Amino acid sequence: MTLADEAISWYDANARDLAWRQPETTPWGVLVSEVMLQQTPVVRVEPAWRSWMTRWPTPADLAAEPQSEAVRMWGRLGYPRRAMRLHACAQAIVERHGGVVPDDLDQLLALPGVGTYTARAVATFAYGQRHPVVDTNVRRVVCRAVEGKPDAGPATTAADLVAMAELLPAEPARAARASIAFMELGAIVCTARAPKCGVCPFHDVCAWRQTGLPLPEGPSRKPQRYAGTDRQVRGLLLEVLRHATGPVPRQRLDLVWTDQVQRARALAGLVEDGLVEAYGADDFVLAGDAPPVERQIL
């Protein structure tokens, strides 16, 4: 039994029954799930994914609506630029690919919000192609089981893809299964903290385990604080604009944060990113939300 075989057997018996894993899920559904799962836990993604797919079952459905609706529907999943890019992605799919999610890796990579991981995930999980799919879970599992190190370094690069490629079965369908199995293993067994080695299918062959589960040496990555940062302020500003039905006066936005300098910087950043638009002299809206100016003046 290879590592991949072990992982697949374990996955067959232990995989979570997630909504986007149903056989009827479309490539668009897979793509939406992958974007939503970027840095957001499964438990929060599931209801959002269902709502999203019900409202916009195809890329064309989403592309036909303003970006602001995508950002609203995104709700509090976090990193709302993903909603903006997913909307742009839907438009690109309509314009470049006739509304069909492409199955070519390079064409996927060219889509907004689709990077190395997501492109490979869609090509593999939606189209059954044979590609190494390396996310943070796979990196951690391979790093521990194969290399015997407690945690993978910060950089995910070509080396990670090569390492995983060497573990993949030859047959595409099985290779895809191996990738999802490694991911699942990292998500629910070989977790970042308190790994459940007792139920791990790699228990007897894990290099990390055989060397005594050494702890990570030195300080891990820098703690990325949140409180008091521009990100928090952006979040507060966007939360107001998401719930607005019309242009929001600057004075209303002034209430969310006392530091005027930081507040202005955060708002300017949102505008520059394309999430927010100035409306008239002193109002703001979610980008794409602007009512016709004529109607406003009349």
Edge to edge, the sheet with strand 276-279 lists 248-249, 283-286, 276-279
Distance CA 286, CA 267 (A): 11
Site for DNA contains 200 (CB under 7 A): no
Kindly tell me which residue out of 31, 63, 121, 145 binds DNA, with binding defined by CB under 7 A: 121
Burial class of residue 232 (count of CB atoms within 10 Å of its CB; 0-12, 13-18, 19+):
middle
Q: Interface with DNA by CB under 7 A: which range of 41-49, 57-65, 93-101, 285-293?
A: 41-49
Site for DNA contains 234 (CB under 7 A): yes
Site for DNA contains 155 (CB under 7 A): yes
Burial 129-152 (b: 16+ CB within 10 A, else e): bbbbbbbebbbbbbbbbbebbbbb
| Contacts (Cβ under 8 Å, ≥6 apart) of 229 | none
Looking at beta carbons only, is 113 or 132 nearer to DNA? 113
Residue 22 CB-half CA count within 13 A:
9
Q: Interface with DNA by CB under 7 A: which range of 33-41, 91-99, 162-170, 249-257?
A: 33-41
Kindly tell me which residue out of 161, 197, 207, 236 binds DNA, with binding defined by CB under 7 A: 236
CA 66 vs. chain centroid, Å, equals: 21
Looking at beta carbons only, is 224 or 251 nearer to DNA? 224
Which residues of this protein are in contact with DNA, per CB under 7 A? 18, 20-21, 33-34, 37-42, 44, 76-81, 85, 112-119, 121, 135-137, 140, 154-155, 157, 183-184, 186-187, 191-194, 220-226, 229-232, 234-236, 238-239, 269
